[in-house]
Structure 1
């Protein structure tokens, strides 16, 4: 009787776990609905793009494994002919980060109704310029970025921008991740844009992600102590010289997004899951939703009501202080991107570090983590620490094939 009871209990618990996992999967992973929605608009002539024909007519663009974390932002592995990529689709709703209210994505229906019929290419270019200016501030070379956007818009490269192509590009420009991919497209730290259709887009596949750590079933995860979990994450990492090169990539990314060619960006979720790397151990940004333009961040967070500093948090890492006289958040983040990057790298790069550099590396990392206030207030110290860290790591691996 006892064995029968335990057998029944095992079957019951197993069935419940399978049911919960299946329900969670079907609720999150709606790639079929995403494809149908996009292709319906393509066939009606509402949208167009370089991936539309392959997705909807030739069916040579396939959605593979689901990596979706939120129902409104679908993420899949994919294959497109001989190419492997990551397919992202917004399920009719683009995440618009309203920093002035709940610091959470606010959903807005994407109607693909802009630009309107009769809009000239010059007028569309003006729309793009004004949008970019609102996102990243009034930068001197935004015209160059607008030109890049227009070149991507002409998906079939016929020298003519159609209204469906323009509507697809306009929808994509509302997404922080797509905007960052444009801004950093000449750098090695963001995956390349392979194609798009409406607000569905295909990015280059990053072979290794997250930056470190292993994924475990939740039923096992809950029983593992936090300290042991951190140690386990460190077991599954590349050799130290490779980790050094990946770490240099993250430091270079910090340089690229701060006072870059097209304005400054804030890194508001600097965690291992946000990054990966390729076969050459070049760092790649996996999830750029929380790398946000500093100008739009500051503009919106000023409007947020607060009672304590913790009310002024966006993402996991962008915290400002609360002005108790006005009960509004101040615009300056308390920690610069570099300090957050160093904190993410500390355990990763110190584990297995050669003895002749470990002490100095640890010293530099802790000085980096201790950075406070805006970068403008400490630009010399910020640059010094950044350069010291890069030099220390490069010096150790420059004579090896890993460099």
Structure 2
């Protein structure tokens, strides 16, 4: 279904008109008040309030006290009250709330769709005890395997990270426990956070309560608010951040479940740990593992050009003979970072690696221009080593500049 794969396209004039109106407002703010732009734009688009955020948490805890939901975070959030709400970060397609849990900041997240209902993929009328531990283990294992196929999953890993957090009664799980686990597993970001635990470029996930899960809070660094860049970050600091992005490229290419493709590359989807300049991908809803990427390709309608095989920043080739989208990617994380993070994007944003010192400006500009480009179509392909050579050149240059 092209509507699923190419979901950025507006399907009506009304949608297009609304988009243009938003763009006009944003551009006016950016031009007239560039120093206020990020906060003003975020507030205008998010429209989230403390009142509705607190009400959401109250409803969550009310369902917990009624025995309708469960999870390892329910007690600290609703009973012990060691998780304290701080502020709303967003109420778009995903709810994001900043909170304090004893000595650390966390983000409570939930997909809007996941708040609609709790359900499990079987029909049971018993609202108390519904599944044995072995039944749940097999169900979770089969579900996760279907998401990462053909890469193997360790059952012990699933047990230690997921199932051991569920409270059992006589060797069984309650309906509330199983439905709550199901509701978070259905949220793609939670599953990827869980599977990629231990990767320093991925925030830690701490647990869940009902449909809401908690993850490590990593703030969006001022370096990613590119209008302010030249006033807030030294060149050497920006170089260190650039190196962290390159480390992320390598790290995501070599996960144990195949390459993780970031399909929504924009600065607000990355956080910065300032203590060591480590960049983290803090919003991976639109990050695809190979199996999910393959599923999207198989759903795509007939294509006549590569742009009809795109999913946000992830672009695949169109096979002109069969008019089908292929699983071969035209874009990559490295190419997207060069195009959307390192270089100037549009006329209002300042790229992370722009305005370099004169001694490296020419060479760096040449590398960024080349690595930001993609082949025009499937009949014109760059050599196999094209991007790897550019990656090595850029990494070498930035490593010298970081000294």
Taking the aligned partners of 2:203 and 2:179, their CA distance within structure 1 comes to: 23
Flag the 1:379–1:346 CA change in 2: closer, same or farther, 3 A.
same
In structure 1, distance between residues paired with 2:255 and 2:238? 25
The answer to whether the aligner puts 1:189 opposite 2:201 as a matched pair is: yes
Contact 1:303 1:328 in 2 (8 A): no
Cα deviation per residue 1:18-73 (whole Å; 9 max; x = unaligned)? Answer: xxx89973699832343234223322333322221122223332333222141x52
Contact 1:211–1:275 (8 Å) recurs in 2: no
Report the CA distance shift for 1:138/1:53 in structure 2 as closer, same or farther (over 3 A).
same
Pairing partner for 1:143 from 151, 154, 163: 154
**Within 5 Å, which residues of 2 pair with 1:4-43?**
25=47, 30-43=52-65
| 1:270 maps onto 2:281 in alignment | no
Q: CA deviation at 1:193?
A: 1.7
In the alignment, structure 1 residue 354 sits paired with structure 2 residue 366: no
Q: State whether structure 2 residue 327 is matched by structure 1 residue 331.
A: yes
Instruction: State the distance in 2 between where 1:199 and 1:210 align.
Output: 31
Give distance in 1, aligned partners of 2:48 and 2:200.
35
Q: CA deviation at 1:274?
A: 1.0
Distance 2:357 2:111 in 1: 45
Q: Does 1:387 align with 2:380?
A: no
Q: Quick check: 2:206–2:216 contact (8 Å CA) kept in 1?
A: yes
- Please tell me whether the aligned partners of residues 212 and 237 of structure 1 are also in contact (alpha carbons under 8 angstroms): no
Once the two structures are TM-superposed, the CA of residue 270 in structure 1 deviates from its matched residue by: 1.0
**TM-score, normalising length: structure 1:** 0.73
Partner residue, 1:256: 251
For 2:64 and 2:384, the matched residues in 1 are separated by 49
CA deviation vs aligned residue, 1:157-191 (integer Å, no higher than 9, x gap): 99988444443333222222112212332121122
SS of 1:394 mapped into structure 2: helix
Q: What is the aligned length?
A: 342
CA distance in 1, matches of 2:141, 2:282: 27
Structure 2 CA distance, aligned partners of 1:257 and 1:342?
16
2:75 pairs with 24, 45, 53, which one? 53
2:289 paired residue among 293, 311, 321: 293
Structure-2 residue corresponding to 1:364: 367
Partners of 1:211 and 1:276 within 8 A in 2? no
Is the 2:221–2:272 contact (alpha carbons within 8 Å) kept by the matching residues of 1? yes
CA distance in structure 1 between the aligned counterparts of 2:105 and 2:46, rounded to whole angstroms: 26
Does 2:274 match 1:279?
yes
Give 5+ residue unaligned stretches, structure 1: 1-20, 95-107, 214-229
Shift of 1:288: 0.9
RMSD between aligned alpha carbons? 3.4
Partner of 2:218: 206
